[in-house]
Chains A and B, each alone.
Chain A
Amino acid sequence: MTPLETQNDLSRSVLATWPGFLNRFSTQIEAYTAQCLELKPAPNIHGAWPSLPASTFLRAELLKPYADSAVLISDDIDGLGMLLSAEAQVCAIAHDDERHRWQEECISACGIKNYRSVEALPVDKSFDLFITTLHAPSAEKEFLEQAWAQLKPGGYWAIQLRSPWDASLYPHLKGDMLSVEKYYREVNHSLLTPFYVLDGGGDLIVYRKTSDAPLGFKSFVPGEDSPFYSFDDLDSLNPETLKHDGVQAFLDLLIEKYSGEKAFEHIVETKDGLSFSLGDAGGVGLSGQLNVAEEHLLLSFLPYSSRFEFCALSAAIEVFASKYTRVRSRRTNYFQDERIFG
């Protein structure tokens, strides 16, 4: 199958949980998917992960009612802001020069008019809708408080969120100045490679600004606001790759994707397969346990970084995946004070 056929197939597969959306927009989704595949992939992962084009299209449709005339988006890795520029003037904050250039190239290639890529929050503007991909809000305290101040009264703040950050997010978003308008679970389907969509989507929460009071986030608390740990399970791996060379190739590719510097690595054969550990000079790392007979890999991220996890999963899929490999879905456990699963 071509990349377009693969992605169209994945779109029908993972978005069958949105039957109305798929029926209504099937032609537009295919056209948008084809357009995305002609563009260069976004460089430099920060907080947001690349996503299946159909999934971006879905979130754009869900956010249209809130877009009104002016939208601010941070970390627009999947073109969500570009889609919304059909509805409103969009200002997109790029986190680095390369991303800024990529956004400029995309808007030029697609003939997008109402979209402006900027490197910092324009202080003199106000917005109807503010879109962020959040980890620990207190880690971006100043930026978020300023963006909130520039959100019009009655405006909306759309937060994209994935596990494991939900446990840290909601305690910061309490109080009278905002209320939940909409909550969409598992609507952000991350694309690890052009052919591989991750099971278990991220959430989208839309808050309404109900008061002009400043946000006033508490200061960042490491460990509490930003978890040090996460894990992933990969099943049905390609048995041919489950050996020392495969693990070595995986660790090398991970460091290359992360643009990091390997501080240490350790690979040892165990009775079930291989056990390994990798540390980056910047202080993030993982341990892994490969069970050969079960064709299963446990990746345990400690100290955790979202970007490192993305690079590790992408590298693991490239090195170890078979036709049937699945990453067990990591779904958010919390919505505000509620625990979803029981």
Chain B
Amino acid sequence: MSEQSVDYCFADGVFYVHGLRTHYLMDIPGAREIKFEERFLPHFEKLALGWDFSEYEAFVPRLLEENIIRQGAPAFDPEIRKKIDHSDRYFFHDEQYSARDKEVREFLLRAHAYRKRFLGEVGQCPVIPETGLRRALLVGYAADVGQKDVLCIGDDDMVSVALAAMGHRVTVYDIDPYLINLLRTAREDLGLDFEIVNQDLCKPLSGNLQERFDVFLTDPMSNRQCFEIFLSRAFALLKPEGQGFVAVFPPAMNVFAELAEDMNFEINHWYRRFNRYYSHLLAIHDYESDWVHVQKKDGMNLRFPPEVPIPGFDLYREDYFNRDSSLSLTIEGVENLKYAKPFYLGLLLDSVLAECGFEERGRETFAGNTYSATHSLTDDGYITIYSFPAQERILVDLYPLNSDIEAIVRGAFMRVFKANPKRFRIISQRSNWEIRLS
């Protein structure tokens, strides 16, 4: 993958993750994450491409012994392929696809299995091969729809591999040198022919490429500026009445639709939840996105003319409301039932609010025959407490949550109602913490 002398690379199933706030090695066969100091980052970057360990030879025996590296140049990784195939098969069903579709999927699986580095800081989150295949199928086989000039703007999804395998003339624009290397290696290994260009979209476009392509595909971050930059460049490169496909995160649907009006392009069709992704753990990512089929129209209003440089923006953020987490605490087999009454629950709530530093803006208490409920409003959110004495059950719902508040709320309710739970289960999701005590 690199022109330098290559003696070592990551062992099978080992790769390097460079996220926004964290970096580590993933070892799939060893089922471990290996943390390392930031100063080693450039070396792991080199190792992902193959490295001779010059000036660091002393580390080699230990890294070999630990199965973190192996001798030789980076190559197809069967461990990674196996893991991605497993995740992909949650959605890939053989009976949906023809023999030639399955061959294209094999190309994609193999290409993805060369990846030895995940770069979170520029929003890379690749689609699973099943999705890459379906994206390419919407363009169609060259044998069926004629050979197209297809442009992939950013291609950590490696859809270029599928499109080239389907017979199209494909060009990839990407800014990431590692990914460019990766695509080149996959291209050679798979015997495909497509063009890979190191292009920063914020820089002016070469005049001879404008209006050259029939179709573009892109998966930008779902914020308005990123859409504007990617689409300004994409439409400038597209032939008149050319078509494109853009990934849009569902909550940004309105942002994208407004942009279509402002820039004057056509939305032909909106495929909901079309794109599925995998994470750096090679498992399904909980992010998913729509796939929007767009078309160039006369009189488009490009936000950024192709010959003009674009000033730097924070492109790698999402432009939708990312709410705080919520907490639900459920306690069964409540001890001290006499305190599970509205009066005492009110006192407990007072102490929790005081300890959390919340200022209460309103409180409503309901005392019914079978249950009582108290809803307390704070500046930022609420706490709702339900008590079902006959079932010996207390339920608490709180928003927004942070780790200090979780400890205060859980601690207060456990001290009164369940000092020694037999079962303690935490179910954590991206936007919710659920704690079950019984």
Contact = CB atoms under 8 A, between A and B. Distances in A.
B438 A287 contact: no
Given A13-B271, A19-B134, A300-B399, A266 B375 contact: yes
Contacts of A263: 366, 368, 373
Interface in A138-157: none
Given A263-B366, A298-B323, A326 B373 contact: no
Interface stretch (A31-39, A91-99, A240-248, A289-297): A289-297
A324 B328 contact: no
Contact of B377 (A186, A270, A279, A341): A270
Contacts, number: 178
B273 A14 contact: yes
Interface string A309-342: 0000000000000111010110101010001111
Given A222-B393, A236-B253, A287 B382 contact: yes
A58 to B, nearest CB: 11
B361 to A, nearest CB: 6
A277 B431 contact: no
B366 A223 contact: no
A281 interface: yes
B254 A199 contact: no
Interface residues of A, number: 65
B36 interface: no
B395 A268 contact: no
A36 to B, nearest CB: 20
A275 B377 contact: yes
Contacts of A264: 364, 366, 368, 373, 375
A31 to B, nearest CB: 21
A215 interface: no
Given A199-B272, A231-B326, A222 B391 contact: yes
A340 B364 contact: no
A281 B379 CA distance: 28
Contacts of B288: 329
A271 interface: yes
A228 B429 contact: no
Contact of B272 (A14, A20, A291): A14
B330 interface: yes
B436 A224 contact: yes
Query: Interface size bucket, B side?
Result: 35 or more
A156 to B, nearest CB: 17
B328 A302 contact: yes
B29 to A, nearest CB: 16
B370 A302 contact: no
A185 B384 CA distance: 34
B131 to A, nearest CB: 8
B30 interface: no
A87 interface: no
B144 interface: no
A298 B388 contact: no
A151 to B, nearest CB: 25
B434 interface: yes
Most buried by B among A221, A264, A266, A335: A266
A294 B257 CA distance: 17
A287 B332 contact: no
A19 B137 contact: yes
Given A17-B273, A236-B251, A340 B283 contact: yes
Interface stretch (B47-55, B91-99, B225-233): B91-99
B362 interface: yes
Interface string B273-303: 1100001011111101001000000000000
A342 to B, nearest CB: 3
A285 B386 CA distance: 9
Contact of A281 (B281, B368, B423): B368
A16 interface: yes
Given A235-B321, A268-B362, A223 B384 contact: no
Given A16-B134, A233-B323, A329-B273, A185 B285 contact: no
Interface in A206-244: 221-224, 227-229, 231, 233, 235-236
Contacts of A19: 96-97, 134, 137
A169 to B, nearest CB: 14
Nearest to B386: A303
A298 B96 contact: no
Interface in A144-183: 167, 183
Contacts of B361: 268, 270
A159 B386 CA distance: 32
B266 to A, nearest CB: 16
Given A17-B273, A228-B330, A283 B321 contact: no
A231 B384 CA distance: 14
A116 interface: no
Nearest to A283: B371
Interface string B53-93: 00000000000000000000000000000000000001101
Given A13-B269, A266-B375, A270-B379, A341 B90 contact: no
Contacts of B273: 14, 17, 186, 199-200, 329
Given A236-B253, A275-B382, A20 B96 contact: yes
Contacts of B270: 13
A184 B92 CA distance: 9
B138, B373, B427, B429 pick with most chain A CB within 10 angstroms: B373
Contact of B284 (A197, A229, A271, A341): A341
Interface in A249-281: 263-264, 266, 268, 270-272, 275, 277, 279, 281
Contacts of B274: 16-17
A295 B257 CA distance: 16
B250 A235 contact: yes
Contacts of A229: 328, 330, 395, 397, 434
A289 B399 contact: yes
Contacts of A197: 272
Interface string B369-399: 0110101010111101010100101010101
Contacts of B382: 275, 277, 287, 289
Contacts of B285: 341-342
B320 interface: yes
B381 A289 contact: yes
16 contacts: A14-B273, A16-B271, A221-B438, A229-B328, A263-B373, A266-B375, A268-B377, A270-B377, A285-B373, A295-B321, A300-B326, A303-B388, A322-B254, A326-B253, A341-B284, A342-B279
Given A229-B328, A296-B321, 15 more contacts: A200-B273, A223-B438, A236-B253, A264-B373, A270-B377, A279-B371, A281-B368, A296-B323, A302-B395, A322-B254, A329-B250, A340-B90, A340-B283, A342-B279, A342-B282
